[in-house]
Structure 1
């Protein structure tokens, strides 16, 4: 499973909202009267290293590079250079997108931002919401599910939490017994 760490507040990236494309207006690859960009740079053949280098140089300066990469991954866009990565470089990320678990995304969703979440991130949102004591209505709104479904998710979260506590208690008991056995020997 792919995990990321929490990022300091000063370096946080605000993930784009679900379906939001407004970030594209700020992309360094946008052509305007003062800034001409050859769109062919972003759809090179594998042996066109000059175009690839030009596109990556532009991407490295782009203020919305992460939003571009997220959009490509979330929409399954496997063509061209996106977020500073070629099709081949993104291939592994595309294959593992369902298991991505980015806690900054989880935290933003719990805080109320409507962002695209993977299955693993949705599970983490449910656990975080349950542990924070958020009402079922709030969880339903965050995940865009019915109130009844949110109730089912919380019942499952309660069971999982109870089972986790029982496993930990059992492990502590076994460790204590092993310690008693060693002292007796």
Structure 2
């Protein structure tokens, strides 16, 4: 019988750069990596292939890619992708919704969040009944702002419920009432 173990996502905390110590591209006495291979010219396909091969072995490749996207880094190969390959992802970053990041934040970790993920944290905190003070601490905002976000969430949920109720009430067809003979 084979078993599969899914390790939890390890997200970089705010201001955390310790992940770089685990990167394959770090030059050490025993790992003489030439940093120039990560900054190839567009026509240097050998350098690009070599850099991507190193990135493919890296245990922090996803974190490296996230950092490049979050900081808008447009130079070199990061997370196994060239600048051109990262560009579409960078454009979509604001709408990224990774629930493992949301859950990590609700659990109290300082994780980089997109706007969509911040909204999901507010919604999850509201659903779990977290106090306004806790939400303010999680998102690094004032308690007044946290109260405003809870009010908006409460209003949105109420309106969604009203819309669903209206749809089911007005969803009757004329045939449901019968026809006169």
- Per-residue deviation, 1:181: 2.9
Task: State the secondary structure of the residue aligned to 1:96.
Answer: helix
Task: Quote the Cα distance in structure 2 between the aligned partners of 1:9 and 1:171.
Answer: 43
Aligned to 1:79: 75
Aligned to 2:153: 157
- Per-residue deviation, 1:90: 0.1
Task: Quote the Cα distance in structure 1 between the aligned partners of 2:86 and 2:78.
Answer: 8
Match among 107, 110, 125 for residue 111 of structure 1: 107
For this pair of structures, how many residues does the alignment match? 176
- Per-residue deviation, 1:183: 7.2
Match among 120, 127, 141 for residue 131 of structure 1: 127
Residue 44 of structure 1 pairs with residue 44 of structure 2: no
Aligned to 1:146: 142
Task: Quote the Cα distance in structure 2 between the aligned partners of 1:43 and 1:71.
Answer: 17
Task: Quote the Cα distance in structure 2 between the aligned partners of 1:104 and 1:173.
Answer: 37
Over alpha carbons, which structure has the higher Rg? Answer: 2
Change (3 A) 1:167 1:45: same
Aligned to 2:175: 181
Gaps of 5+ in 2: none
- Per-residue deviation, 1:44: 0.4
Task: Quote the Cα distance in structure 2 between the aligned partners of 1:181 and 1:133.
Answer: 44
Task: State the secondary structure of the residue aligned to 1:101.
Answer: coil
Task: Quote the Cα distance in structure 1 between the aligned partners of 2:119 and 2:69.
Answer: 19
Residue 25 of structure 1 pairs with residue 21 of structure 2: yes
Task: Quote the Cα distance in structure 1 between the aligned partners of 2:137 and 2:100.
Answer: 19
Task: State the secondary structure of the residue aligned to 1:155.
Answer: helix
Gaps of 5+ in 1: 1-7
Task: Quote the Cα distance in structure 1 between the aligned partners of 2:106 and 2:113.
Answer: 11
User: What is the TM-score normalised by the length of structure 2?
Assistant: 0.92
User: What is the TM-score normalised by the length of structure 1?
Assistant: 0.90
Aligned to 1:64: 60
Residue 100 of structure 1 pairs with residue 114 of structure 2: no
- Per-residue deviation, 1:174: 2.6
Residue 122 of structure 1 pairs with residue 130 of structure 2: no
Task: Quote the Cα distance in structure 1 between the aligned partners of 2:82 and 2:134.
Answer: 39
